[in-house]
Amino acid sequence: MNKNIIYLFLFFSSILVAQEKNQKEFTYNEYLGYVKKFHPLVKQANLKLNEAQAILMQSRGAFDPKLEAEYSEKQFADKNYYSIFNGSFKIPTWYGIEIKAAFDNAEGIYVNPDMTLPNSGLTSLGITVPIGQGLFINQRMVDLKNAKLQKTVNEAERNLEAVEVLHKASLAYFEWKKNFSEVKLYEEYLENANIRYKGVLKLIEEGDKPAIDSTEAGITVKSRRLNLENSKLKLQKSRLELSNYLWVENNVPIELDETLFPEINLQNTIKSTLETNNLLEFDINNHPKINALSTKIDILKTEQRLSANMLLPKLDLSYNYLSEPSAFNNYRFEDYKVGVNFSFPIFLRKERGKLKLAQLKVQDSEFILASERVSIKNKIEAQQVEIASLEKQISINEDLVKSYNIMLSGEERLFALGESSLFVINSRENSLVSSQINVLKLENEFYNAIVNLYKTIANPNL
């Protein structure tokens, strides 16, 4: 069924009902397609990917070249106290090394002696190298590495959130299917009860049955009608619950139309739809939760390396080649400015404490990861056992339904021959109804077990 047909049924059902009475199947696969494409919470989960891209762009900004300029001038009592200009162009690099080109000019009668420059100003080209802290790892490097890793974390978390929405949407679909089948079942038995009631009345008129049989037949009709009304109420509630997951373009919610009915052969297609029929190739290392935890450990280890680097002394060396603008091509390496910046805490208590905390965070996350691996593996195995058991239970109950059907048919033949009673027929039918209702419940549990397995596997890419 294509998209236009679905829209036709969802928006213009009243016109269709007036023209034709045929209901149309709304398959589980089509339903999931709508949830994945249009549901706001799935779209919200997709925002995590955009968020990761923005964080990565922000981190790369730390390596952007920077242009700086500063100018100050003081005039007082017709005197030029000073006129100072400083301009620079800085290029930060990966290993903490910074390259800088600058132009400085200073004029005036009160310029500090150490800032006295040639009349044409002074150009410089230099480099700053961290020898201790910040050479092989620094905050800029850590931020960029972690931003790239965070992209993997956000993608995994997006998958988990999308799977959660699809899981809840699936449970709503299965509940709708169960209640829909219940209504059809009770409609059928209400019709049978009405036919039997009319037949009993006729037999009473002919004197073949006692009048009390009409009371018993009437009780059965009322009981079936009550069961039907209760099932219709549950069906209406499940339709509304299912409608919570039905959206179209521009975030427009829609309601499930009554002319649509759930997939008939869902028991045969659900495993292939959710891709749970072949788990031999399933790799737990590709599980979104495992991916997210593993990547978070990598992020913590990067922070740990940075904390360990803080134990080193801070020692920055800088060299700047100086030249007048007009003589820039005439190299005079004896014209330069050098600098050394050194600092080192005596006890390193802050740095050692930070490193210890980083190590503890890594260990804590590794324990969680190991626990999650085992938990997911065991949960998958338990759910597979549950699914296999439910399949057997459904098969047994379907055999019971066949047996109860045979018993009821035989009892109805005996009743027609006058060798049975209405009480026995109702008893047989009640057993048949109970067994059929039990099949519907087991099928619902079977569908829920499969979608729970799907949630555990956490693969939203259907």
In terms of Cα–Cα distance, which of 154, 179, 332 is closest to 262? 179
In terms of Cα–Cα distance, which of 159, 173, 337, 193 is closest to 245? 173
Question: What's the confidence (pLDDT) of residue 177?
Answer: 95
Render the burial of 98-114: b for 16+ CB within 10 Å, e for the rest.
bebebebbbebeebeee
Residues 348, 128 contacting (CB under 8 angstroms): no
Bridge-based pairing state of the strands 260-262 and 24-26:
parallel
Tokens of 422: 């209405």
In terms of Cα–Cα distance, which of 109, 128, 173, 104 is closest to 324? 104
273 CB-side CA count, 13 A: 20
Question: What's the confidence (pLDDT) of residue 45?
Answer: 84
Phi, psi of 324 (to 5 degrees): -75, 150
Q: What is the distance between the alpha carbons of residues 328 and 123, in angstroms, rounded to a whole number?
A: 8
The stretches in the chain having pLDDT less than 50 are 1-20, 462
User: Where do the domains of the chain lie?
Assistant: 3-38+141-299+360-457, 65-92+97-133+314-347
Residues 55, 150 contacting (CB under 8 angstroms): yes
Concatenating the DSSP letter of every residue in 347-385 gives S-HHHHHHHHHHHHHHHHHHHHHHHHHHHHHHHHHHHHH
Tokens of 270: 């659900």
H/E element, 9: helix 3-11
Residues 299, 149 contacting (CB under 8 angstroms): yes
Residues 102, 123 contacting (CB under 8 angstroms): yes
Could you tell me how far CA 355 lies from the centroid of its own chain? 33
Q: Which residue has tokens 């339903």?
A: 31
Q: Is 208 strand, coil or helix?
A: coil
What is the model's pTM?
A: 0.82
Q: What is the distance between the alpha carbons of residues 462 and 457, in angstroms, rounded to a whole number?
A: 12
> What's the CATH fold of domain 3-38+141-299+360-457?
Outer membrane efflux proteins (OEP) (1.20.1600)
Question: What's the confidence (pLDDT) of residue 408?
Answer: 87
Question: What's the confidence (pLDDT) of residue 299?
Answer: 93
Q: What is the distance between the alpha carbons of residues 255 and 247, in angstroms, rounded to a whole number?
A: 9
Alpha helices in 249-287 (DSSP H): 266-274
